């Protein structure tokens, strides 16, 4: 049994390991997620692919389980890339989770991968230990903004948002949509805290982080079909993925602070902005997220948004939007 303190330290070692985890984007998360999925499949001992997918929602061919790839030569990046490709073919609903935009894995020099896996060896971890390490990796990314990977808020802020929204829930079943889902940790926090049955939905712009979102959801028990149906990659401000008529009971949101956006005057014809009569400035999209979020909120729904403090007092068009709100 590895202590939580030791796992936390290992997660910090991974993030400090020659910048490997971030120079090569999500390599640490993907190798760890692949181990968790492999170990869970080994634990249920499925007879065939159908049984595995019925029980855990995915299937990894026996020769490509994490331990098998590691036994071949765990520092050979080509072995991992081959395993991830096979996973995509076997699990079409999750086909982009490991290999979308992943040619860089095959370009990693073996020495670099060897140094990384030797320094940060989690091959002997149990499923619970690996899952805790995955969560700790995310948390340590949040706490060190120099290594910020997913952009989510830290645990304390996510729990505060969940408490605020939980007070408002009056239904036994609610739909929750995070338009800036990042790694999905905010959605998972709400799922954990709510007493109601929840249906989770999310949208994420970055392809790298969208893959991390899928891993996080699958690791925390969201089935592959739901991930495929309810989570999309896209820019929420362009509102291209979710129909404008899609309404949700709960919308938690932590948009990127003061992001630049295309404040095209033609957007004043969009129902989202037409009633307000003005657009947020190009240099600060904070209220664009708020207004777009309100467009997707059900009549008796609740939205909680974390914004920079400047959004409370900046003047010009943002002042007009605050009056409208």
pLDDT digits (tens, 9 = 90+) for 37-53: 999 999 999 999 999 99
Residue 148: what pLDDT? 42
C-alpha span between 153 and 158 (Å, rounded): 6
C-alpha span between 4 and 2 (Å, rounded): 7
- Is residue 147's pLDDT more than 50? no
In this prediction, residue 71 has a pLDDT band, given cuts at 50, 70 and 90, of: confident
The secondary element (H helix, E strand) that includes residue 199 is strand 197-204
- Is residue 9's pLDDT more than 60? yes
Domains plus CATH for the chain? 4-147 (1.20.1260), 155-324 (3.40.50.150)
Supply the pTM of this predicted model.
Answer: 0.88
C-alpha span between 190 and 297 (Å, rounded): 17
What are the tens digits of pLDDT across the range 89-125? Answer: 999 999 989 864 444 554 544 445 566 566 667 778 8
The closest of 160, 153, 192 to 176, measured between CA atoms, is 192
In this prediction, residue 5 has a pLDDT band, given cuts at 50, 70 and 90, of: confident
Residue 116: what pLDDT? 59
What are the tens digits of pLDDT across the range 12-30? Answer: 777 776 444 444 445 778 8
What is the pLDDT averaged over residues 81-91? 91
The CA angle 123-124-127, to the nearest 5 degrees, is: 90
**From residue 65, how far is each of 9, 230, 322 by CA, in Å?**
27, 28, 54
């Amino acid at each position: 049994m590895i202590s939580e303190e030791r796992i936390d330290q290992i997660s910090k070692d991974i993030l400090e390991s020659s910048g490997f985890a971030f120079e090569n984007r999500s390599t640490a998360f993907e190798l760890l997620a692949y181990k968790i999925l492999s170990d869970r499949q080994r634990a249920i001992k499925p007879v065939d692919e159908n049984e595995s997918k019925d029980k855990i929602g995915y299937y990894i061919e026996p020769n490509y389980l994490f331990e098998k790839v590691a036994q071949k030569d765990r520092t050979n990046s080509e072995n991992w890339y081959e395993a991830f490709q096979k996973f995509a073919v076997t699990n079409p609903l999750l086909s982009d989770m490991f290999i979308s935009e992943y040619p860089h894995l095959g370009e990693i020099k073996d020495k670099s991968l060897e140094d990384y896996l030797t320094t940060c060896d989690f091959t002997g971890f149990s499923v619970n230990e690996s899952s805790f390490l995955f969560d700790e990796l995310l948390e340590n990314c949040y706490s060190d903004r120099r290594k910020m990977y997913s952009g989510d808020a830290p645990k304390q802020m996510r729990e505060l948002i969940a408490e605020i929204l939980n007070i408002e829930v009056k239904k036994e079943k609610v739909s929750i949509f995070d338009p800036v889902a990042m790694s999905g940790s905010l959605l998972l926090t709400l799922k954990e805290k709510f007493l109601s049955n929840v249906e989770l939905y999310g949208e994420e712009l970055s392809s790298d982080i969208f893959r991390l979102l899928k891993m996080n959801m699958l690791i925390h028990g969201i089935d592959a079909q739901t991930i495929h149906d309810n989570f999309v990659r896209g820019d929420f401000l362009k509102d291209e993925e979710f129909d404008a008529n899609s309404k949700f009971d709960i919308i938690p949101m932590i948009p990127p602070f003061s992001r630049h956006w295309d404040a095209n005057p033609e957007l004043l014809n969009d129902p989202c902005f037409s009633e307000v009569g003005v657009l947020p400035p190009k240099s600060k999209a904070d209220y664009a997220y708020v207004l777009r979020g309100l467009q997707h909120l059900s009549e008796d729904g609740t939205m909680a948004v974390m914004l920079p403090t400047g959004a409370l007092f900046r003047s010009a068009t943002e002042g007009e939007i605050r009056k409208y709100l």
